[in-house]
Each structure stands twice: as C-alpha cells, then as structure tokens.
Amino acid sequence: MEHRKDSSTDRQELSEKAKAILEGAMREFLAHGYAATSMDRVAAAAGVSKATVYSHFKDKEGLFNALIQRLVYERFGTIFGSLLDSHSAQAEPRVVLRRLATNMLDSVTTDGQLQAFMRLIVGESGRFPELANAYVRNLVKPVIDSLTHYLASQPQLKLSDPEAIVRIFIGSLIYHVLLQEVLHGKEILPMERERLVDNLISLIVCKED
C-alpha cells in the first residue's frame, strides 16, 4: 500500500521549497540584476527544477514581487506592524515617532542584503518601473498610510496636513539611508542619526508638548 504524507507535511515541504526558491532568487537578482536573471538560474540556485519554480511563482515578476513581500514581512513587519496597536495608540507621538525612526534606521543600516536590494530596485527602475511600483505599493504606501492615520488621531499636534508631514518624515529617513549607506556618502556628508531624528520630531511635536 502506498504511503501518503499528511497534508500538513505536504504544506511544510512546499513552504520549505518556496523559501529555498526565494533565497536562490535573491542571490541571483543581486548578483546578475533583474534582466539577466532567468528562472533557470533561480531553479539551479535553489536546487529545484524549473517546473517547481513555476508551480510556486507564475513568472519572474511574480517571483520578484514575492521577494518584496518577504522583505516587508521579515524586515519591517515588527517595526511597522505595531504602529497602530493599542499600545502605540496610547503612547505620546514623540515616543512613537522616535521608536519608528530608530527601528527603521537600525534595520536598514545593519542589513547589507536589504541595501543591495534597494540599489537593485533603483538601478532597474528605469527599464522595469513595475518593480519600483511593487516596492512602493507593498512597503512605502502602507507605512505612509499607517503613520498618517496615527498622526491624524492626535489632535493635540494640530497638524493641518498629516499626510504631507508623514511624507517629509519618512522621506527624510529614506533619503538619509540612501545617501549614507546605499550611495556610500557617510564620509563625505556625515550626519549623526540622533541629530536627524531629533530635528524631524521637533518639526512635528512642539517642544512645549
């Protein structure tokens, strides 16, 4: 009688294969760029067949989108996921903003692979704008929406345009990472991040508050 594995085991195996494919894809995309990376290369890097890759991800763009979603979940989920939880809703804006900025900068500045992935997206955005769109849609937009919602719920700040303030805040942090880490400018234009964060927060939260 043929032995059948239970469905939970099957799902676990599929999950492990998908993880291997994503890890292999990340290595290939970072090493060769988006255009030069083929599904054959990804399959070889992951140690699976090309059919297995296609059974999990319908095409190369879908695979790249899955990588972005994985980065959001693994690198930023704990940073931004709690932004609107009950604890944050009760915390002072100065505390929430500092925690958000510090955690974001900690995560990006210590993660070489994430920095390399950001370079890849910027470098390929001209030929493949859909890749940059996926990054903005899956990572940047949810952060802006969540923080805008939080600041709008803090009437004591008296912000006439919370979304514009959030874009200034997040944009400044992203630019800091791009300039200091991705573009290797920290020796040319050094800036202590505490100085940056302190001044960004002071633009939003009045000192007397």
The per-residue pLDDT string of the chain (209 residues; one tens digit each, 9 = 90 and over) reads 444 444 443 344 447 889 999 999 999 999 999 999 999 999 999 999 999 999 999 899 999 999 988 887 777 665 665 555 555 657 889 998 998 899 888 888 888 888 888 889 988 999 999 989 998 988 888 889 988 988 999 999 999 999 999 999 999 999 998 899 888 899 999 999 999 999 999 999 975 44
Task: Look at residue 63 in the predicted model and tell me its pLDDT.
Answer: 94
Angle, CA 125 vertex, CA 32 and CA 130 arms, to 5°: 105
Hey, what amino acid is at 102? T
- State how far the Cα of 149 lies from the Cα of 162, in Å rounded to an integer: 8
- State how far the Cα of 131 lies from the Cα of 137, in Å rounded to an integer: 10
CATH of domain 1-58: 1.10.10.60
Asked whether the CA dihedral 125, 131, 137, 143 is positive or negative, the reply is negative
Task: Look at residue 209 in the predicted model and tell me its pLDDT.
Answer: 46
> Which has the closest alpha carbon to 97: 154, 169, 195, 155?
169
- State how far the Cα of 162 lies from the Cα of 151, in Å rounded to an integer: 6
Angle, CA 136 vertex, CA 28 and CA 134 arms, to 5°: 50
What are the structural domain ranges in the chain?
A: 1-58, 65-204
- State how far the Cα of 83 lies from the Cα of 147, in Å rounded to an integer: 7
Q: Which fold has domain 65-204?
A: Tetracycline Repressor; domain 2 (1.10.357)
User: Locate tokens 């992203």: which residue?
Assistant: 174
From the number of C-beta atoms within 10 Å of its C-beta (0-12, 13-18, 19+), residue 179 rates as middle
- 113's CB contacts (< 8 A; 6+ apart) are 26, 30
**Number of neighbouring beta carbons within 10 Å of residue 143:** 20
- State how far the Cα of 130 lies from the Cα of 121, in Å rounded to an integer: 10
Task: Look at residue 70 in the predicted model and tell me its pLDDT.
Answer: 85
User: Locate tokens 């200091």: which residue?
Assistant: 180
> Which has the closest alpha carbon to 125: 111, 116, 135?
135
**pTM to 2 decimals?**
0.78
Q: Return the structure tokens found at 109.
A: 């500045």
